[in-house]
Structure 1
Amino acid sequence: MNKACLLILLVCILGISLDCFAQNSYNRTTQPPFAQPDLLIQSSQQELLDAFNWAKEKARFYVQTGKTGPLDVWERGAGSGNVPYLPTYWAGYPKRSAFYSRDFCHQLIGAHLLGLQEENFTMLKAFAASADEGKKWFPLWAINFNGAPFLLDYRGNENFVREVPATFELVEKAYELYLWTGDERYLKDEVIWQYCSKAVTDFIALHDQQLPNGIAEGTGKGIFQGAASYNEAQDAPLIESGDGIACQFKAFEAYAQMAALRGETKLAKLFAKKAADLKTFFNQNWGTKNTNTYNRGYTADGKAVDGWGKENSWFMPMKGLTEGNVPRTQLYLDFINQRLESKDDIPDNIEAISYIPETFFLHQQNETAWKWMKHIITRLNQQHSYQSATGRNGDYPEVSYVLIRNTVVDLLGITPQASAHALSTLSHLPAEIDYLGLENIRIGQSLLALKQEANHTSTLRLQAGDASLNWQAGFPGVHQQAWVNGVKKVCRQGKDQSGRVYSYCKLRVKPGEVVRVTLKGG
């Protein structure tokens, strides 16, 4: 055994801190350059300021672009070789030389906001390329930083870790990355398009055998045989799960939009209908049959399972599969919050809890969402539930990347459409945050600064860009008028993803221009 491998092994055995491990086990270069200026934050809430600035530096630490190192490293194995790494970043346990599909899907918007556009494309395409007929169109669960299968989780085409929701989330996230970047490779790359097409067709057909109903199934036998849910600590042998059907719904929606953008109108209409039909089926049958809340899975004998299932519970409202502003969904969100408040039911692993803020922000429950953001922030220095593979909670890569996403996407309330030079905003600030502003937010080829003051004032500055931006500035509730740079303007009304009414003004912002919209007059 050479000295480098011996050192890695000793580090794993002795449990030396994450940063020490990473610096000694990989040939790290200086921090890589990023394609945009640094994200700069201002806020009345010091805890958020500190957490965001910590998250930026922590997330950048995990970038592997331009580096070399061994393959198949894990917490009890030093791996082997010394190879060049692709443009990638850590997504998964930080003592493993790999990026994981589930983690990647949750980290990629935070990565985009840090300037990691090429890393996102490379990693998404690696997962897309890994799915083939031999794997029944499942993508690999984990991939080494050079693009090779991570052998801890892959032992052959019949024996590798695979979970149904990830197959569909990768489709959803391809479209989401397109919305942020306008990068047509997400629409036109043949490998990615084939993957997306197979995921919403052949994959479902091949995995809808036990309860034929158009919903992709797992086996109910564990992760190496194909799990239905992201909740690996299953309390029932689910073959269909709430997070699986929720992610399938979002994949249908995303695929319909991508097909439309490709000019494939007939295909777009077909999958838009599939998405609508699946949501109807869930809300009238699969999700509501014989329960006052929501079913979150089915076993092979066709028995519905409700109650608390962690990911297979909260993914349903998080993905917008449940009906929006209706009593059943509101009661279910209350149920999720109560279970998370329970010492017995809250997940042990912090990365699972990292989904919770966006779940509540989507449904305009801003106080609850912020409560769970603070829950995460205040536990960054606690030991992770799988300490030997991670260290502290804050050392799990997903945590830092998602905190960036929560701040920009959820608190500021940004929805981008890069190819149309457009964005909409709808503040989700809780009472504790008087104002929040970010500079150098990249949407396509534009850089912008946005400041939200409570839920009454939004200020947008187009810092740089190749065209004007179409801005839909929204505010929760019904408002007849707003003031745009001091000039009164009539508001329109619409409904957000949760079914709640909001008011908005449609504006056009030129490069260099500052536009302030307020409900408070002049």
Structure 2
Amino acid sequence: MSGIRIESDNQEIEQIFTWAKRTAAVSLIADGESGPLDVSEANPGPFRHAPYRASYRAGYAHRSGYYLRDFAHQAVGAQLLGWQRHNAAMLSALLATATPEHGGWPVWALNFDGETPLAIDYRGPHEFVRELPAIFELVELVHTLYRWTGDAELLGHRAFWRNTLGAFVEAHDTHRPNGVAEGSGLGIFDGAASYNEHPTARFREAGDAFGAQYAATLHAAALERAGGATEEAERYERTARGLAAYFLHTWSRGEAGAIVNGWTVDGDPVTTWGRETTWFMPLKGLFADDQRAEALLREIDHLCADPVGAPAIIEALTYVPDLYLRHGDADTAWRWMRHIYAIRDDAHEVPQQGLNGSYPEVPFTLVAQIIGLLGLQPNAAGHTVTTRVALPTGMSRLAAFDVPFGDGTIDVGTIDTGTTTGGLWLRNGTSEPIRWQLAAAEPGFQDPHLDRATAPAASVTVAPGERMTLPAG
């Protein structure tokens, strides 16, 4: 576990970070530790035991495995906590299940042995839980981890992302041939189109899957460039531009200006609030440079706070701070972080889970989101760090120490002038010089793991062991 820590002029954020780091550590699974398999509320035992592999809980704490969706969302927090080896093992284990026998789908959950599908979600090679956004988030995650670690072995997963964005999409684009992957319109054991497991419609195409596919295509392009495959990168970039244009002009356009977040098996548009089907579209960048984005972000904030519209499970809410961080709205992101922390001792919707705060996604994502306020955009392979700081109102000092990056760590923080942020500093704790770029905290969408087209406001080289300061703005 890394020694990552923060300092701030805001005691509440320090308290939340300390709690999240300590609570996340409870989820760690040691390599070689023997434990039971297929533990769940559906299996009273007796249980077969096997050696566990290095991993961590990602999903219900009363089950003996980790889940694809949760893992994809927790992995940045795990990287920051120093669990690079665990991330690599879990990623490889899940990708290994995306076989022809499984139709290219990775299994939904693995036991902590890293080999056996968790029985409650797996009935056989043709009947297991499948939710379409997850396979695309796994493509994105390969690149996200590469940006933090610079680990060239991650580029060895090329066959997975090429198959997913090639043959897999083609095989799931038959009812509405438009380049957008489709779900069955049935339940989760039949390949659901959405993460929303209680949808108001039978989705053939859903906004969260479209958003995840679009983001995966951009991240695959970046992976191809990192591997020297320029033509493949350009092909993915063209595909992504085509998806974005189709979404903007056709797919998302409903009557009377309504925003479409899905299409049913009967070919009808869905414009009602869909939680994940709605917020994943701007979360993944589909509303970048779209005039409708500002109103949609306000509506999402309102509906997530409305008792009728709010998600029933806290793990769904953990995406909301990410959404606003990616749109440079630190105040709204921080408000949602505080809310999630405030209800940590409330009972979880699933009784066996216990309290909200014991759901692993909560502490892992809070760790990542708090560091996210510093606007870190890592590129370990390129020995580059870009910062796009946007602190909440009333917070002028935030610093993070021993942040795992590449083959070492970095420290980064703001300089407190009393009422405003007067500058930024960065210390290089890696073995190579780091190019540190300062990006303006301008409005609009920014994926922290993709390069921005605009030039940085300032750029300096920080030698190993050196600390440098740049003025804000």
Which bracket does the TM-score occupy, shorter chain normalised? over 0.9
Question: Which residue in 2 is equivalent to 1:281?
Answer: 246
Shift of 1:262: 1.6
Question: Which residue in 1 is equivalent to 2:40?
Answer: 74
CA contact (8 A) 1:297 1:305 kept: yes
Choose which of 338, 341, 355 in structure 2 pairs with 1:392.
355
Choose which of 442, 465, 470 in structure 2 pairs with 1:512.
465
Q: 1:519 to 1:427 in 2, by over 3 A?
A: closer
**Structure 2 residue 191 is matched with structure 1 residue 226:** yes
Question: Which residue in 2 is equivalent to 1:39?
Answer: 4
Q: 1:427 to 1:218 in 2, by over 3 A?
A: same
Q: Deviations over 1:414-452 (max 9, x none)?
A: 000000111100112111322111100111113111112
Shift of 1:477: 5.0
Q: Deviations over 1:382-432 (max 9, x none)?
A: 1111122x1101000010100010011x21110000001111001121113
Paired with 1:47 and 1:120, the residues of 2 have a C-alpha distance of 29
| Worse overlay, 315-324 or 231-240 | 315-324
Q: Deviations over 1:125-145 (max 9, x none)?
A: 111110112222111000001
Q: 1:118 to 1:328 in 2, by over 3 A?
A: same
Choose which of 364, 373, 377 in structure 2 pairs with 1:401.
364
User: What letter is aligned with 2:86?
Assistant: E
* SS of equivalent residue, structure 1 residue 461: strand
Paired with 2:208 and 2:141, the residues of 1 have a C-alpha distance of 15
Gaps of 5+ in 1: 1-33, 479-493
Choose which of 150, 161, 175 in structure 2 pairs with 1:210.
175
Paired with 1:301 and 1:273, the residues of 2 have a C-alpha distance of 30
Shift of 1:461: 1.4
Q: Deviations over 1:206-249 (max 9, x none)?
A: 11121111111111111011110000011100110000000000
Q: CA RMSD in A?
A: 2.0
Q: 1:136 to 1:497 in 2, by over 3 A?
A: closer
**Structure 2 residue 53 is matched with structure 1 residue 86:** yes
Question: Which residue in 2 is equivalent to 1:358?
Answer: 322
Q: Deviations over 1:6-35 (max 9, x none)?
A: xxxxxxxxxxxxxxxxxxxxxxxxxxxx3x
CA contact (8 A) 2:437 2:456 kept: no
Q: Deviations over 1:153-212 (max 9, x none)?
A: 000122110000001000000011000000011102xxx322211110111111112111
What percent identity do the matched residue pairs reach? Answer: 36
* SS of equivalent residue, structure 1 residue 152: helix
CA contact (8 A) 1:293 1:331 kept: no
Q: Deviations over 1:438-489 (max 9, x none)?
A: 1001111131111124554211112x211111000233259xxxxxxxxxxx
Give the TM-score, by structure 2 length. Answer: 0.94
| Worse overlay, 349-358 or 71-80 | 71-80
Question: Which residue in 2 is equivalent to 1:121?
Answer: 88
Shift of 1:261: 1.7
Per chain length, whose mean CA-contact separation is higher, i.e. which structure has more relative contact order (CA < 8 Å, sep 6+)? 2
Q: Deviations over 1:263-314 (max 9, x none)?
A: 2221111111101110111011101243524211001121111121000100
Q: 1:293 to 1:427 in 2, by over 3 A?
A: farther
Question: Which residue in 2 is equivalent to 1:337?
Answer: 301
Choose which of 374, 378, 381 in structure 1 pairs with 2:338.
374
Question: Which residue in 1 is equivalent to 2:147?
Answer: 179
Paired with 1:140 and 1:133, the residues of 2 have a C-alpha distance of 12
Paired with 1:223 and 1:149, the residues of 2 have a C-alpha distance of 16
Question: Which residue in 1 is equivalent to 2:375?
Answer: 413
Number of aligned residues: 463
Off by >4 Å, runs of 4+ in structure 1: 453-456, 494-503
Shift of 1:78: 4.5
1:256-271 equivalent positions in 2, closer than 5 A: 256-271=221-236
* SS of equivalent residue, structure 2 residue 124: coil
Question: Which residue in 1 is equivalent to 2:217?
Answer: 252
CA contact (8 A) 1:455 1:476 kept: no
**Structure 2 residue 119 is matched with structure 1 residue 151:** yes
Shift of 1:502: 9.1
* SS of equivalent residue, structure 1 residue 431: coil
Gaps of 5+ in 2: none
Greater Rg by CA: 1
Question: Which residue in 2 is equivalent to 1:166?
Answer: 134
